[in-house]
Structure 1
């Protein structure tokens, strides 16, 4: 009788434990359901497609563990949510991933999120969250990925980020953060603070990140431009900049000298062309006797019947002088004889001044002198 009694007591005990455990699970899931319903009622925009009569583990974006006893992931990206997150999400104590990225949520991050110590992934990018990055986030020591990009966060980047010793990804780009980047002793594989109002040098442990991680800021130092100071610890940048400046100066000097040589060459070439053009000018002086003894000017007669034309200084470059006879005239004298002859002015005509020249042999000729005029032979002969 006694063994049966002990067996009955043992069965009763196990049933009690099972009912108590089931009651606890139901209580936890009921608490999480209440937190999710509070979220559903707090945010606007496109309504969450949650049927409140179903198990919360069946709702869109809600993921539970294998036993369907607790919520481990809440993923609501791009659901058109607006408004502020309620102070109820902290009741999701087993939550490991929270993603509300690319919505229109605003305001500060609710403080009770700092109570979700199991949280590993927090994705809040692409919203309108504002205020400083809250200190309670630095209590989430299991956090591996934190994305706060494309929001309106302000203030400085706190050195308390070093409390997140497991942090692998930190995205803070396109906010309104100010100040400098603290020395972060974290195993960061992905990091971005671009397009913020940050100043100062890039910490040495972050200098191996790509330039795109810091663009749109006033930061300096490797991998960006040198800070021109000892703070960036990169003296090679200064040497390289000095060499580049020296190269630019040398290049400018060489270019100036080359340009000067070209100008001198062009000037000399132009001057040579001017000299050549002057050398090949037409004859300067022409002397003509009018046939049949007619005077070449306005008055006076010449008895001789010789007709001659004298071209003086035919080309400056050669210095030659030629004597040309017109008509059927006997060539009884030369150019030297004509140049030595005495002459008197007869008058001025259309093409120049006429002279009466008497040669040593007694021959009298009429000569007309032309300056810088080219006159054909027929016009010489027809001139009165």
Structure 2
């Protein structure tokens, strides 16, 4: 009995020191006093809605676990001493704000798992011990700030680090030896780093190191003085270093002279073409494996004449945009957003105009001018809040350009697969998939006689505006894309019926919607489904089906969904919808109307349910693995 009393006293004493949500509320209010321009946090302090409903507060099962204060224009001070008083602070993000000065002492937050500081004005050197003791830290995003000095060795020594993005700063010196090598996100590009790349990082994508003029070694070019190029100290006894250096200078001179001649020839040819009034788009120097949302800036060069050219100028559709000229647009400073199977995509920043996205297409050469104009004008008349509006187009004999509005938050793919540094909670994912469904439904009603009103629905073609509303991109292009190219690259042609008969059906876009739903819920990239050609051994739909057939497994849901517990039942309902859209048999596959109606019924929370009944119903909508027949898997 005495032991029980002693245990009860200790338990009461311990719980007295556990911070409650009420305690966190006061800490958050204190933290807010250090911020400036904090109008976005106006509901902080509203006790009637609860701390977990405050803007930017992340909770899991009604327990606080992080702050996501992004795109709010915040300034002032990130007071770490105040944050240290919060219970269970796992994630902290202030992406795209106006914080300045040295990086705060986040090492005081020893339990932090994710730190996102990208796109601010933090500056100065980061102390070498800035990350000491943060043994749980997995994700560090410091991109697009003004940091200088060496990369802190304590960052490289984090034992659990698997995401690191520090591009777009002024870090200098050598790259330290990172303790980890199997990164999900790794980007050191556009700094001032130099020296040999550590061997443990030699297998990384070259774009991870782009823009650092002093770096060498795999995966970039060899270093001077490496075994492939012996240094002076390694010369054999009978060698003559002075003669060798003289030879190198002669070779270098010859290379420079030849380069100048070649460059002059290219310029002369361009001038000749310009005078002949023949519009020719100069090919990019951008590699084909450019990482989406890279920070490389360049111009979209064109030698076309004015709007009176043979191929026509910039043709506006829908609402007219004044002040945009073809020459100004295509020579504007541009950021390369990506390079895919259809061509390069640019974010064009005009001096006196809006920010727009320019997409270059090289596989529409079979389309006549009148047919192309008619189709683009039809697309330009479409108006829906979940479609990315077409602003203008350019018709050339070799290439076509489509100009769209710019979506501030990039693609859904970049958020689902760790390239943006932003974790999407269930409410945001539900909002996005509802927007996708509404946009697709609109396309079905506008193109009732077309089998593929979208044709290329995938996560990289769902872009998000400033409020994370989904907008569909690259829709309605099947009619103007070369058939052979469409069959090889457009995702609707990866549906079972198109893969078998090379003829898509009116439910092929529904299949794409189903794959998108499964990708959104599981966080898994449908690599086999999107792989070009044949021979993929497994696809996302078959994987989900196999898990369901073996029994419900909560591990299937994306672990990166903050606070997923409160909405798991609704997530299971969406999983059912996704599986219904991915039925192999056309007769069993849901129609677009049925899928959209079911998606519209979904809610952010379970209203107290645990989702168990929904899990039981999964078996009634799942098809057997035999129906998916791995020998017929989607390529």
Q: TM-score range by the shorter chain?
A: 0.5 to 0.7
1:29 Cα deviation (Å)?
3.7
- Match of 1:149? 143
- Match of 1:60? 55
How many pairs align?
229
SS in structure 2 at match of 1:60: coil
User: Where does the alignment leave 5 or more consecutive residues of structure 1 unmatched?
Assistant: 1-5, 237-241, 253-384
- Match of 2:414? none
Work out whether residues 156 and 178 of structure 1, in 8 Å CA contact, stay in contact via their aligned partners in 2.
Answer: yes
Work out whether residues 149 and 173 of structure 1, in 8 Å CA contact, stay in contact via their aligned partners in 2.
Answer: yes
1:164 Cα deviation (Å)?
0.4
User: 1:53/1:16 Cα in 2 relative to 1: closer, same or farther (>3 Å)?
Assistant: farther
Work out whether residues 130 and 155 of structure 2, in 8 Å CA contact, stay in contact via their aligned partners in 1.
Answer: no
> Following the alignment from structure 1 to structure 2, what is the Cα–Cα distance between the partners of residues 188 and 202?
16
- Match of 2:195? 200
Please tell me whether residue 168 in structure 1 is matched to residue 162 in structure 2.
Answer: yes
> Following the alignment from structure 1 to structure 2, what is the Cα–Cα distance between the partners of residues 19 and 205?
50
> Following the alignment from structure 1 to structure 2, what is the Cα–Cα distance between the partners of residues 178 and 49?
40
Which 4+ runs in 1 deviate beyond 3 A?
9-25, 27-31, 233-236
1:33 Cα deviation (Å)?
2.5
What does 1:184-223 correspond to in 2, within 5 Å? 184-189=178-183, 190-218=185-213, 219-223=215-219
Correspondent of 2:221 among 212, 225, 228: 225
User: 1:14/1:188 Cα in 2 relative to 1: closer, same or farther (>3 Å)?
Assistant: closer
What does 1:332-351 correspond to in 2, within 5 Å? none
- Match of 1:34? 26
Work out whether residues 38 and 86 of structure 1, in 8 Å CA contact, stay in contact via their aligned partners in 2.
Answer: no
Work out whether residues 61 and 75 of structure 1, in 8 Å CA contact, stay in contact via their aligned partners in 2.
Answer: yes
Q: So what's the TM-score if we normalise by structure 2?
A: 0.33
Please tell me whether residue 97 in structure 1 is matched to residue 94 in structure 2.
Answer: no
- Match of 1:44? 36
Q: Residue deviations 1:233-273, cap 9 Å, x none?
A: 6669xxxxx9xx9xx99xx9xxxxxxxxxxxxxxxxxxxxx
1:128 Cα deviation (Å)?
0.7
User: 1:23/1:207 Cα in 2 relative to 1: closer, same or farther (>3 Å)?
Assistant: same
Larger Rg: 1
User: 1:38/1:131 Cα in 2 relative to 1: closer, same or farther (>3 Å)?
Assistant: farther
Work out whether residues 157 and 178 of structure 2, in 8 Å CA contact, stay in contact via their aligned partners in 1.
Answer: no
Q: Residue deviations 1:27-68, cap 9 Å, x none?
A: 444443233112212212241133414132231111234253
> Following the alignment from structure 2 to structure 1, what is the Cα–Cα distance between the partners of residues 179 and 5?
56
> Following the alignment from structure 1 to structure 2, what is the Cα–Cα distance between the partners of residues 42 and 95?
18
Work out whether residues 35 and 78 of structure 2, in 8 Å CA contact, stay in contact via their aligned partners in 1.
Answer: yes
SS in structure 2 at match of 1:217: coil
- Match of 1:82? 75
User: 1:160/1:136 Cα in 2 relative to 1: closer, same or farther (>3 Å)?
Assistant: closer
Work out whether residues 143 and 166 of structure 1, in 8 Å CA contact, stay in contact via their aligned partners in 2.
Answer: yes
Q: Residue deviations 1:301-320, cap 9 Å, x none?
A: xxxxxxxxxxxxxxxxxxxx
Q: Residue deviations 1:151-199, cap 9 Å, x none?
A: 1111101333343011111111111111111222313422111111111
Work out whether residues 222 and 228 of structure 2, in 8 Å CA contact, stay in contact via their aligned partners in 1.
Answer: yes
> Following the alignment from structure 1 to structure 2, what is the Cα–Cα distance between the partners of residues 141 and 60?
29
> Following the alignment from structure 1 to structure 2, what is the Cα–Cα distance between the partners of residues 17 and 142?
29
1:115 Cα deviation (Å)?
2.5
Work out whether residues 178 and 197 of structure 1, in 8 Å CA contact, stay in contact via their aligned partners in 2.
Answer: yes
